[in-house]
Structure 1
Amino acid sequence: MRRSARPLTGTAPAGDVEVEPSSAVPGGQVTVRTAACVDGGSASGDAGAVGAGSLSLAPGPHERDATGRFRVPPSAQPGTYEITATCTGSGWWVTGDPVVSPASGRPGVHPRGSVKTGVGGALGPDPVQTAAGVAALAVAAAGGTWLLHRRARGDGI
């Protein structure tokens, strides 16, 4: 009976993948870091679950952790995605789970302006148009009141 050789893979004993920020928005950059690769080794990462493809993780000049970055695609849907990294040489693999939040634009920036709903608003974007509209309503109300008063007295129209 012949046995075929299989590579041994498994979870690395040194930990998981750290993902910063843990909650990212579509279009945002994510940093992936792991200390699982022994002796400051490098790793290949897979962010395909979120649609970002593969990435390389390598230690910086003064650190032992292997670090890499990817950008969350603008088309990414909100949810939790698994990111994996496989250490070069040892074959150990580790995972992390970043969360993609709904797109909210830039932090601290709130929308401004009016919404075109077709219904109108209490205050439009132009104060001159608002004043003209109020004046037209006042003239119409005064004219209607005068006509109703004449009709009630029997003066006719």
Structure 2
Amino acid sequence: MRRTARLLIGPALTVATAGSLTAPAYGADGGHLEVFPSTAVPGGDVTVNTAACGDGGTAEGDATAVGAGHFTLAPSTHEGEAIGQFRVPPSAQPGTYEIVAKCTGGREVRGDLVVVLESARGYVHPRGSVNTGVGGALGPDPVQTAAGVAALAVAAAGGTWLLHRRARGDGI
């Protein structure tokens, strides 16, 4: 009996948690800012909309918390909402970020964006190189890499020839 209860509670908690991530966040003044999708991966596009600015109203969006900067919300034909978009930077770290929109009339609404490294499609592979300060064997320029390999080969051949002469007693 206990095992059955434990098996049923796990999926229920997972569904409850996933449902809470997709709910719109409501501002303190009664208006709300909808962030879609509310869970995004670095490099993904996010749409933000609100009806708090009134019919035909515009707003200035602020996504600097996630590193996306400012964006504009313009009036849309959908039920008098203002809508805008921004892109989550590829360098964004996982976490929850507050997105703010300030209407031209001064009203401010807020919503949350959750950045994750895993999407519904599966794992998102990291992009770019690791900045360790040491450098890499295969740099961005294949000509420089080939020149380095050739220099190492010449040095190895010269060193081997000198050691061979020394071993025979020919001197240097």
User: Is 2:80 the partner of 1:64?
Assistant: yes
Residue segments in structure 1 that go unaligned for 5+ positions in a row: 1-9, 112-157
Larger Rg: 1
Q: Distance in 1 between matches of 2:119 and 2:112?
A: 22
Change (3 A) 1:84 1:99: same
Q: Report percent identity of matched pairs.
A: 62
Q: TM-score, normalised by structure 2?
A: 0.52
Secondary structure at the residue paired with 1:37? coil
Q: TM-score with structure 1 length normalisation? A: 0.57
Equivalent position of 1:41 in the other structure: 57
Query: Which structure's relative contact order is higher, taking Cα pairs within 8 Å and 6+ residues apart?
Result: 1
Q: Which residue of 2 is the match for residue 100 of structure 1?
A: 115
Which is helix-richer, 1 or 2? 2
Structural RMSD (CA):
2.4
Q: Which digits, 9 at most, give the CA deviation of each residue in 1:13-32, with x for residues without a partner?
A: 4x211000010000000000
Aligned-residue offset at 1:99: 0.2
Give the CA deviation at 1:39. Answer: 2.3
SS, match of residue 65 in structure 2: helix
Matches within 5 A, 1:1-157: 12-13=29-30, 15-88=31-104, 90-102=105-117, 104=118, 107=121
Aligned-partner residue type, residue 92 of structure 1: R
Matched residue of 1:68: which SS? strand
